[in-house]
Structure 1
Amino acid sequence: MTDKPELLAPAGSPETFVAAYKAGADAFYLGADDFNARKRARNFSRDELKEATLFAHRNGRRVYITLNTLLYDDEFPGIIDLLSFLEEIRIDGVIVQDLGLLAMLRDHFPALPIHASTQMFCHNSQQARYLKNAGASRIILARELSLEEIRSVAAAVPLEYEVFVHGAMCFSFSGCCLFSSYLHGDSGNRGRCRQPCRRPYDAGGGAMYPFSMKDLSASSFIGELVASGVSAFKIEGRLRNAAYVSRVVGMYRALIDGAAAGGASIRAENRAAPGQRESSGGYFRGREYNRLVAAEKAGSSGELVGEVVSVKGSELVFASESEIAKGSRLRVVDGEGKMLHEGTLLDFARPRAGLYEWKLTKRMPRASRMLIYHTGESRAFRDWPAIRREAGMHKYIPLRLEVALSATECTVRAH
């Protein structure tokens, strides 16, 4: 019997938190309203953060908060206030990129475990040793490492290590890319990446997607990763919908349990949903460009279900031959695949068959051509009142222990 690595799921919203819990995740990583690298995600209010953490602890699970952006000096009062709140609700770990924030956590919030973000791109044992000495209790290794390099770092510097096993990949080292910042003034290091790597570029031979990485999938060699001694397997996807998270978490739950039990390997159902990107084994198996990059076609996620007919302020009218249910997650993209909006179909009307009038919460940008993709169902939000009720039943009981040691015995008294 091999020790099981932690299965760590993305929770970009309360809906995906519930989906990941039901699918068997051991832990969840999520963001607050600010200071995280996925500002386009729904994220969590402070009340929701507290409820999610209490619910997870009551059920033997863990919650990690993503504070993985670079910070300016005038933002530290806000981050200190948030850290005090996280300490109060007993969050299980803080994922950080900024070295100044790491030092603050180490010196002033010692009860909060520090997880060095993959955006610190730790890729060798010397950097791992530095981060360990700086106070990190876990390092999320760079996605650009091979299996052998992961084993080498872990053997040289004993510590908890976390690796991504599934989801989107960056063309550049995470945390080093300035592509979005250069083109749009929106930096990935501030949680605002516009993903210019997913767009087509024409160098004279027709439009191609030379920077669009295939999604990572380690499902075919999960046994080797379990045997490597890595502490946690992480699924990327805080911008993904609940249906996707449920499917992927469930798949890796079965794979990890099977590999840890030493039984026959379980066949992974890893077919991409319609419109989703191709997958590869990432850098675990090598660095060949053609194996890692899907340069010949766009990688829009979801199933194409319609086209926008008109935009009137915050109302979007689109034509579709599909039956789209209330609660569906929809994404609006322009003709080049750039995302213009993503949301849940809640406030809408159907004036006639094949036509939808969708009322949004804000004005919609216009483009010459606008397409609608169905990215999944998002109905788990109906479960949140039950999460809140169960969270309210979880209590922490203060306990004081007195330990006395002698040459012949150890005495422990609880108060």
Structure 2
Amino acid sequence: MRQMAIVGSGPAGFYAAEAALKVFADGVRIDVIDRLPTPYGLIRAGVAPDHQSIKAVSRRYEAVARDPRVEFLGNLEVGRDIPIDALLANYDDVILAVGASVDRRLDIPGDDLEGVIGSGAFVGWYNGHPDFAGLSPRLDTATVCVIGNGNVAIDCARILAKTRDELAASDISGEALEALARSAVRDIHLLGRRGPYQASFTLKEIGELGELERATPVVKPNDLPPAEGDQALETGQRRVVEVLRRFAATGPDSAKPVRIHLDFFHRPIRILGTSRAEGLELALTRVDGNGRATDTGETRIIPCGLVIAAIGYRTAPIPGVPFDAERGRFANVDGRIAEGLWCVGWAMRGPSGTIGTNRPDGQAVVERIRAEGRAPAGKPGGRGLEALAAARGLAVARFRHWEAIDAAEVAAARPGAPREKIADLARLRSFID
């Protein structure tokens, strides 16, 4: 029997498990390991709470978790609780599917001031992730700057701009909902160093900014290139630019008190303030013929009390696993790190692609494992891991414990919401019997 450990229970992990069940059929037993007592990773704590249709993919992962060949083992952190060598000693194959959970820093003066946070932290806070339950972002400011031109940046801006009623049917944390309802934020600047042609958000996300109850998008007509250039764009990007042109032509809705400024051609160079963020200094840019942003020599200062950096993520290193610090991911060749040690998803390729991109990734890595032709070595698998956990006094969360957490969250939901997430790690662990 092939013993396989998959570290990480988000999309990359479950798609890899699904692929292994098909490729190795009845000849495999899979343990899906997570450092939290709750499964589903990015789906639970990364996808925007007002995008419930995307979160529905967790039902597919649940079907995998309920397969008799699969066991969920939560509340175990590989690298801290369980060394990577111990996993390799107990399993024929170890697949790291831990994603990229570390915010990339701005690396500009002032990025360590209070009021400067990464988008991963902000998203984790409003999604009820235990790591960020005590974040308390500074929402007592009239102006927020969100640095980045991707979907995560738009998610942050949209959540900041929505009313309590607009968020009522979401699974946003109750703490975040109350804090946002008291927010003083009235101007949100989405800042990108390049232009509309290079923006990486998608049609759905940019379109939603025009459908908000109290917020209106602001696009400067002069930021848009001549319309004849649109025909050279790929279809998706062309449709995004069409929406931006519509926003620019219509102008902001003066009846709405919150404005979302899509400020292209801005590069952050310094955060102003002494003990906390008070403003953001930016270099104005232009895009050269190769699509690169170059400074014009002009600068601009936006007074603000909160800066959210949505500029990407890095995988958290695991002791004993080769790491590519420049790319912020595990050092690998097509998912292979070393004999018996693999990675998939963002831990393999960096933070790019959609949730669905992880499915072919997982399939490809499992096929490479099969192609290597290594026969099962009679390793103990989960029995060995559980014995090690018991010897170290570690409480292991199983899928039944998650089901109890799930039931408690659903029961505690406010009217119209799917659940009220438990963000306190100690309380989550209290469900482990």
TM-score if structure 2 supplies the norm length? 0.27
Higher strand proportion (structure 1 or 2): 1
Which one has the bigger helix percentage?
Answer: 2
Task: Choose between structure 1 and 2 for higher RCO, CA contacts under 8 A separated by at least 6 residues.
Answer: 2
